[in-house]
Amino acid sequence: IFYSGRPFLQNALTSARNRQIHLDLPIGLALVVGFSYSVLNMINGAPHVYFDSMTAVVALLLTGRFFQSKALDRIMREQARFLESDVHFVRLNSESGRELIPLTSLKRLQMAHVLPGEIIPILSYLNSERGDVNYGLLKGEAQSKAIHMGDEILAGAMNGASAIDVVALEDGSESFLLQLQKASRDLYQAKGLYLSLSEKMAKFFVVFTLAAAFGVGLWFMPTSPEEGFRRFAAVLLVACPCIFGFGTPMVIARGFQLGLQRGIIFRSQRALEGLAQVKRFYFDKTGTLTEDQVGVVCAQWNEKHLLHLSLLKKEVFGLFKVLPTLSQHHITMSLEKWAQAQDLPESNANSR
């Protein structure tokens, strides 16, 4: 009771000292009353003791909170992996050469080097002759955009097929991607309407539970003190408002997780809650409705060219599959994905 149930007892004690309502207040009170009443009956030789019930309650509550904690941790880790990737570091071009530094250490007008397929983590302008970038992460458009010397590049763009140099137009600490990550990490601190409402309802329910427990206990106390104690503890345990502490945070966290799995980042809990009120959606461009990756829709083989190069189709498939090791360009990635999905018949695989 006093070791495994320590979290409940501590929260209940802190709540009583600060004259605040906490979900663990009726739990802690029920544990103390049930345990004390059982010890008293044991000393007096009375038959009714509830040590097994008290320990079972502690075990079940701890199990529930353990699974809740694990679920929230898993969601937070998934969210961190989705957002953070490798944008926390940048290759700085300095007099001594290139060095990998934290993005937050990058200063305005410093030059960085970006490899093919990497995310450009800072608002900058191109300092190379030419290049191409993809804004799929920001706009959902898979088509690459050609850029030239001096063109502005938004943070979050993906570099194309060639390495480029960019000059930062802001300090690294002001990067849009870092601000987005910070806003996402603060999702659980900035409470939305439903979570706040749930906490208010929980406080009301705790007060109601305490009042009902004391009322039942006082009602039976004059005729049977034993029955009064037993019913007092039973009401506290049975009417435990744990669902308010478990249910709402889990539902909100699950909503964030489902959004991340579909490439949607919510900036606040209220943004997630507001979806229930949306009646119409307006889309401003086709990129919003299309995939953010290029894909092979139809492929035709040039048999004469394959014969001229003395290549087998299976050899071409093999080349496609190793392309991403040479470049992370979106076209090479799409070819590799298409090659992996093909089930080439043996007769066709050996044809030239």
Q: Cβ distance 252 to 195 under 8 Å?
A: yes
Lowest mean pLDDT: which of 18-27, 68-77, 228-237?
A: 68-77
- What 3-state DSSP class applies to 132? strand
d(CA 11, CA 159): 51
- The CB density around residue 78, as the number of other CB atoms within 10 Å, is 14
Which residues partner with 113 through β-bridges?
91, 165
**What's the order of all strands across the beta sheet hosting 164-168?**
97-102, 89-94, 111-114, 164-168, 124-126, 152-153
What is the mean predicted confidence (pLDDT) over 201-223? 85
pLDDT at 12: 85
DSSP 7-48: HHHHHHHHHHHTT---THHHHHHHHHHHHHHHHHHHHHT-S-
Burial class (CB in 10 A: 0-12, 13-18, 19+), 226: middle
Identify the residue with better confidence: 345 or 101.
101
pLDDT at 113: 92
Query: What is the pLDDT confidence band of residue 100, given thresholds at 50, 70 and 90?
Result: confident
Highest averaged pLDDT of the listed ranges 21-25, 148-152, 277-281:
148-152
Identify the residue with better confidence: 302 or 47.
302
Query: What is the pLDDT confidence band of residue 84, given thresholds at 50, 70 and 90?
Result: low
**Res 350 pLDDT > 60:** no
Nearest to 142 by CA among 130, 134, 150: 134
Phi/psi for 134 (5° steps) reads -125, 125
Question: How confident is the prediction for the chain on average, in pLDDT?
Answer: 79
Q: What is the pLDDT of residues 282-301, one digit of tens each?
A: 877 655 666 656 778 888 88
What is the mean predicted confidence (pLDDT) over 192-207? 73
pLDDT at 352: 37
What is the mean predicted confidence (pLDDT) over 156-174? 88
Q: Which residue is it, tokens 């509830």?
A: 50
d(CA 111, CA 92): 6
The model's pTM: 0.51
Query: What is the pLDDT confidence band of residue 86, given thresholds at 50, 70 and 90?
Result: low
Helix axes 225-238, 24-44, angle to 10 degrees: 150
d(CA 329, CA 294): 10
Radius of gyration of the chain (CA): 31
d(CA 61, CA 64): 5
pLDDT at 343: 62
Which amino acid, residue 296? V
Query: What is the pLDDT confidence band of residue 244, given thresholds at 50, 70 and 90?
Result: low
Lowest mean pLDDT: which of 73-82, 165-174, 305-314?
A: 73-82
